[in-house]
């Protein structure tokens, strides 16, 4: 396939050469914060994860798109990432589930891509210098360099309000009623909850008073993009619900719950993005292989009213918290596993046990 030459330029001046793919905007340039994902498969679930809002995803696996795309694997109605970086993009996918090529999917959803990039070099640079902003596109390296200097990081950004549902919706028919606050909730997460509970999904801006009116048996805090420190209003609403309902949080929901319990968050150098991160359950000693997608984490020295339940074996980052007094727990990783191993899906059963009084937090 004939492709136009393109450039990728980071805000620190690092330049990469490649070729344009996917959707090409009128400006021909895409800006965002660059992060790398180490998953070997599940590229569609990664691209449609709303937690990537504001970011450009670089895949470390060199060959992407070989099994095409199916609507059954979408984690949101559309992708919210700014763009995609790939070493080699498959032109002719082959799989019985495939409905179209990955490139056609990107074009249909207006997501730019750049291919032919030395993603190994890019990954090494991001590991050394962190998740830096930048740009890629056609029109010459000078135009892309100018765009890279305008690009923003996700620091202090409330991106949850851009990806959350605009209205309440209900699923499932269980005897227990759970309210899920959507900060960027993934489809697999909704599916896991709806299999167990009567589920009401509410916008991220929902107040404690609005949730009280629904009289739920428990509250679920979803994943989502951006800086948890920018969601002060959401944290304040959570404080009003602590101790009133059992609460289970994942990813951004974990960070917000920790903040409501008095802890603080910080930005990791390059985050955790992949489906092969080892996490140790502190109480059992078991090691789970987990799917992860986050740039921020909870600062251990700031913990006040919660205990650490899980830790990352790669770098020691807090991966789980619990508070017996407030009947709440959370994990930084993605137990719903879309994509990723299913080692941690027991946590949804644990949440149900908490609501039924069969399990005590901690």
For range 299-317, the mean pLDDT: 96
Overall fold of domain 5-150: Glucose Oxidase; domain 1 (3.50.30)
> 49-81 burial string, b = 16+ CB within 10 Å, else e?
bbbbbbbbbbbbbeebbbbbbeeebbbbeebbb
User: CA triplet 294, 300, 302: central angle to 5 degrees?
Assistant: 110
d(CA 242, CA 318): 21
d(CA 330, CA 200): 19
Task: Give the single-character DSSP code of 351.
Answer: H
Give catalytic status of residue 167 as yes or no: no
**Per-residue pLDDT tens over the stretch 113-138:** 999 999 999 999 999 999 999 999 99
Q: For the domain 160-355, what is the CATH code?
A: 3.40.50.880
Which residue in 33, 251, 326, 328 is the catalytic one? 251
**Per-residue pLDDT tens over the stretch 153-204:** 999 999 999 999 999 999 999 999 999 999 999 999 999 999 999 999 999 9
Residue among 219, 315, 316, 217 nearest 260 (CA): 219
Which residue in 33, 272, 334, 352 is the catalytic one? 334
Residue among 334, 310, 313 nearest 322 (CA): 310
| Model pTM score | 0.96
Contact partners, residue 50, CB within 8 Å, separation at least 6: 75, 76, 80, 163, 184, 185, 186, 223, 224, 225
Q: How far is residue 48 CA from its own chain's centroid?
A: 9
How does residue 340 score in pLDDT terms, banded at 50, 70 and 90? Answer: confident
304 neighbors 293 (Cβ within 8 angstroms): no
Residue among 252, 160, 257, 265 nearest 218 (CA): 257
Q: How many CB atoms lie within 10 A of CB 254?
A: 29
Mean pLDDT of the chain: 96
Give catalytic status of residue 277 as yes or no: no
**Per-residue pLDDT tens over the stretch 341-351:** 999 999 999 99
How does residue 328 score in pLDDT terms, banded at 50, 70 and 90? Answer: very high
Give catalytic status of residue 334 as yes or no: yes
User: CA triplet 144, 147, 151: central angle to 5 degrees?
Assistant: 135
Query: Does 1 score more than 80 pLDDT?
Result: no
Domain coordinates in residue numbering, the chain: 5-150, 160-355
């Amino acid at each position: 396939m004939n492709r136009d030459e393109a450039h990728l330029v980071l805000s620190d001046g690092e330049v990469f050469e490649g070729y344009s793919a996917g959707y090409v905007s009128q400006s021909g340039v895409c800006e965002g914060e660059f992060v790398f994902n180490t998953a070997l498969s599940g590229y569609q679930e990664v691209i449609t994860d709303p937690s990537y809002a504001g970011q450009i995803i670089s895949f470390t696996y060199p060959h992407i798109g070989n099994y095409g795309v199916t609507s059954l694997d979408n984690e949101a109605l559309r992708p919210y990432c700014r763009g995609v970086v790939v070493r080699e993009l498959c032109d002719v996918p082959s799989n019985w589930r495939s409905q179209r090529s990955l490139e056609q999917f990107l074009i249909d959803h207006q997501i730019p891509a750049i291919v032919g990039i030395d993603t190994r070099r890019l990954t090494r640079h991001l590991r050394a210098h962190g998740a830096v902003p930048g740009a890629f596109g056609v029109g010459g390296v000078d135009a892309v360099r100018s765009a890279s200097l305008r690009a923003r990081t996700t620091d202090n950004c409330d991106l949850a309000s851009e990806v959350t549902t605009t209205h309440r919706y209900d699923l499932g028919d269980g005897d227990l009623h759970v309210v899920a606050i959507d900060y960027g909730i993934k489809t697999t997460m909704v599916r896991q909850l709806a299999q167990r509970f009567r589920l009401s999904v509410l916008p991220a801006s929902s107040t404690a008073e609005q949730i009280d009116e629904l009289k739920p048996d428990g509250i679920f805090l979803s994943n989502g993009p951006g800086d948890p420190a920018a969601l002060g209003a959401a944290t304040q609403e959570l404080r009003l619900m602590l101790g009133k309902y059992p609460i289970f949080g994942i990813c951004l929901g974990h960070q917000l719950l920790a903040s409501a319990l008095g802890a603080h968050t910080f930005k990791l150098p390059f985050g955790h993005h992949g489906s092969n991160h080892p996490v140790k359950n502190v109480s059992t000693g078991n090691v789970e292989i987990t799917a992860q997608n986050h740039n921020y984490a909870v600062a251990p020295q700031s913990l006040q009213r919660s205990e650490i339940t899980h830790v990352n074996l790669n770098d020691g980052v807090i991966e789980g918290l619990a508070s017996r007094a407030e009947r709440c727990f959370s994990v930084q990783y993605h137990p719903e596993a879309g994509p990723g191993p299913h080692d941690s899906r027991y946590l949804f059963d644990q949440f149900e046990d908490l609501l039924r009084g069969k399990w005590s937090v901690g």
